[in-house]
Structure 1
């Protein structure tokens, strides 16, 4: 039976700090098969962690929760892209942008902490934080995460604002029932009607792939590279 243990120490290896400061390489995702390859990395990654140690730590739970969320969002994105569902795709992309901002924010904060005790408290805050102000750990506002993530992902906040325009019920989403014609005119389509606007599919697909790639890479560094000694009595 796998047991949940409190981590006494979390040793943040130097290469994790280095990774968080590295400049991004240009990524180019052109099809949904490439998205599938990203989420196919997740299960072996988690299994490799528990081949080493069968005990759960709070940091493991946090990372696995974020990876599980990422898997579902990307898998649903693949379906939405194949089925020409622009608004569903936008919802999934927004969730992935928030997840990337969140994991980067907490990875940075943990990396900046001076003591193991401070690191442990930050992990618990990330894992147990809620919007209920009466609880011990209050969740961080996603906009704060996005501002922090701009250090590494300068376009992430602007991408988030753009996708929120489509997610929210406003002019960006109201006119998706208009079908473009070859003459450049628009025609009303019978509900339901789904069609991506020009270049939106390619842009969304690439942003989804980028988010998944970076989320999984950050989680991998924590799951595989961090030494988490067993607690002492």
Structure 2
């Protein structure tokens, strides 16, 4: 997954993109110019390890001083120019929580003996948080507190982010339909709209975007070569890329 990302959209945002890992990788660190960060967290997909990584990512973002904190999974393709367009339309100086809901009713859980309700954006489709709002998350997120909050909530990282923002900080989610996760049926997306989407995903080989070979004379690769469809998507957006001419 990382190799596909490094060969495609990472090239459009090399200075801004960091890869949060669970191990040291000298080759990856060299390729990303020092932007591979060993979280020191475990390798599993359970609540503790995922939230541990997100907590490390949060601390890394706060130290950066950047206007936006955007989280994407390793099965996401980020259409960088489209993402920038979306963010420019919003005011980073205000409290902004941008993403896509995976469930359409308020989430109900028990937190410290009380029933709480909140909304969350699935990180499987990507999420962006403005600098002032990210800083306000600090009492529940900074220096290891994110993992503590996640464990107290009993739910994973995206739920924890949503809980902190929409319940504790009382900031609403700004919903975008330009972020997509593999929880959707990606084949239903109109191929003609793919260039206008900010984030796309895959669950190869069963759930991927559809790119017809006759779409804008794009170089569409065989599914055996490009099971995620991200190389073909990259060529749709950047047809001048050298590997798109092969």
> TM-score normalised to the size of structure 2?
0.29
Q: Which has the larger radius of gyration?
A: 1
Q: Which has the higher contact order (CA 8 A, sep 6+)?
A: 1
Higher helix share: 1
Higher strand share: 2
